[in-house]
């Protein structure tokens, strides 16, 4: 029997692929893809305001409600804006580390730097957000340090600034790793060619390295942008009054008011934004750099 199956699989490659992919595909389609489908379907449902029961159907009520209230537009723009700012910040911060790691460091230092990037990446997310909450608090480390060197204290705890800093901090390793991998893939001969043609230092970086590492940057941007876009914990813990993200509205509508259809309708926004982002990223070759 085993022999027969094996020979059958060898002759019919499609059948062998289907046998391997079958289980994961069914599981993925029935859970993940079906759930995304359910999100889209329930976004057209409504909730009975008295009983709180779900009313299946097809109505644009949730979307009309979202468009009618400028608060939701503002929250959407804030979320996307901060996600974009974080992505740009992380690209700027990732370059020196990625470049030093791949092009300047020896093997031992390189391994050490790699470990130093991996440990924060995998250290507890909540622990790191919480650490920043303590650092940026009014009587926290930052203001203490500023006072020690005779500078006035800053009031950036619980603000959009705090969210920008903390998100940039949280997702920086996600940018460093793909950028470093992309820089590593550039053949040294290209850099030599550039030097032979009389380009030096920064010109080689700008005209050869930077364009060739673009897929790596886009791959990193998928993570920095998407992770910021879909967060609600960081805004809750380090953001102040009026720093809600899309996620906070979604969370509140599921957990507190139990209005799943409305939350689903608002979640369609990040789905759309990321859908477009991913398709563009794929065109730019970012998926090979993941």
Partner 1 sequence: MRSEALIWAAVAAIMGFLFVPIVIIIAYAFSAAPIPSWPITGFALHWFADTWYDDEIRQALTLSVEVAALATVSAILLGTLAAMAVARMKSAAKEVVSFIAVLPIALPGILTGMALASYFAFWGLNLSFWTIVAGHATFCVVIVYNNVIARLRRMPHSLTEASADLGADAFLTFRRVQLPMMASAIGAGALLAFALSFDEVIVTTFTAGAQNTLPLWIFGAIRLGQKLPEVNVVVFAIILFTAVPVLLAQKLIGDSGRVAR
- Could you tell me which residues come within 8 angstroms of residue 123 by beta carbon, excluding any fewer than 6 positions away? none
List the one residue from 11, 24, 68, 150 that touches partner 1 (CB under 8 A).
24
**Exposure string over 166-185, b if 16+ CB within 10 A, otherwise e:** bbbbbbbbbbbbbbbbbbee
- Candidate ranges 69-77, 155-163, 190-198, 261-269; the one touching partner 1 (CB under 8 A): 261-269
What is the closest distance, in whole angstroms, from the C-beta atom of residue 208 to partner 1 in the complex? 16
Report the residue from 15, 77, 88, 134 that binds partner 1 according to the rule CB under 8 A: 134
Q: Which two tokens stand for residue 247?
A: 């996620």
Take residue 106 and report the two structure tokens written for it.
Answer: 């020896």
Structure tokens at 204: 């080689």
Q: Which of 47, 86, 83 is nearest to 65 (CA)?
A: 47
Residues 91-130: x where in contact with partner 1 by CB under 8 A, - otherwise, as a string: --x--xx-xxxx-x-----x--xxxxxxxxxxxxxxxx-x
Min dist. Cβ of residue 189 to partner 1 (A):
20
CA distances to 143, 153, 162 from 150, in Å: 10, 9, 22
Is residue 131 part of the contact set for partner 1 (CB under 8 A)? yes
Total residues at the site for partner 1 (CB under 8 A)?
105
Site for partner 1 in 223-252 (CB under 8 A): 223, 226-227, 229-233, 236-237, 246-247, 250-251
State which of positions 34-93 bind partner 1 (CB under 8 A): 34-36, 38-39, 41-43, 54, 93
Judged by CB under 8 A, the chain residues 170 through 189 that form the site for partner 1 are 172-174, 177-178, 180-181, 184
- Contacts of 145 by beta carbon, 8 Å cutoff, 6+ apart: none
> Contact region for partner 1 (CB under 8 A) — 69-77, 191-199, 206-214, 218-226?
218-226
Rank residues 135 and 159 by Cβ distance to partner 1 and give the closer one. Answer: 135
CA 247 from chain centre, in angstroms, equals: 13
- In terms of phi and psi (left: phi > 0; alpha: psi -120 to 50; beta: otherwise), the region of 59 is beta
């Amino acid at each position: 029997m085993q022999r027969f199956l094996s020979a059958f699989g060898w002759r019919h490659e499609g059948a062998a692929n289907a046998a391997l992919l079958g289980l994961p595909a069914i599981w993925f389609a029935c859970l993940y893809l079906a759930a995304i489908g359910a999100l889209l379907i329930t976004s057209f449902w409504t909730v009975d305001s008295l009983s709180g029961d779900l009313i299946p159907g097809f109505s644009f009520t949730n979307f009309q409600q979202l468009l009618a209230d400028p608060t939701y537009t503002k929250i959407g723009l804030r979320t996307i804006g901060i996600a974009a700012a974080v992505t740009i910040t992380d690209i700027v911060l990732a370059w020196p580390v990625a470049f030093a790691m791949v092009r300047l460091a020896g093997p031992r230092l390189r391994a050490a730097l790699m470990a130093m990037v991996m440990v924060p990446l995998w250290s507890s997310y909540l622990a790191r957000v919480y650490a920043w909450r303590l650092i940026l608090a009014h009587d926290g480390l930052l203001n203490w340090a500023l006072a020690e060197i005779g500078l006035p204290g800053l009031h950036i705890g619980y603000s959009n600034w705090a969210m920008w800093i903390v998100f940039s901090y949280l997702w920086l390793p996600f940018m460093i790793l793909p950028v470093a991998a992309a820089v590593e893939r550039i053949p040294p001969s290209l850099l030599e060619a550039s030097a032979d043609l009389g380009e030096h230092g920064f010109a080689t970086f700008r005209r050869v390295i930077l364009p060739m590492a673009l897929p790596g940057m886009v791959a990193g941007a998928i993570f920095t942008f998407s992770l910021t876009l879909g967060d609600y914990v960081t805004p809750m813990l380090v953001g102040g009054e009026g720093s809600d993200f899309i996620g906070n509205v979604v969370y509140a509508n599921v957990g507190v008011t139990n209005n799943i259809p409305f939350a689903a309708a608002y979640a369609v926004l990040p789905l759309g934004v990321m859908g477009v982002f991913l398709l563009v990223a794929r065109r730019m070759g970012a998926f090979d750099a993941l």
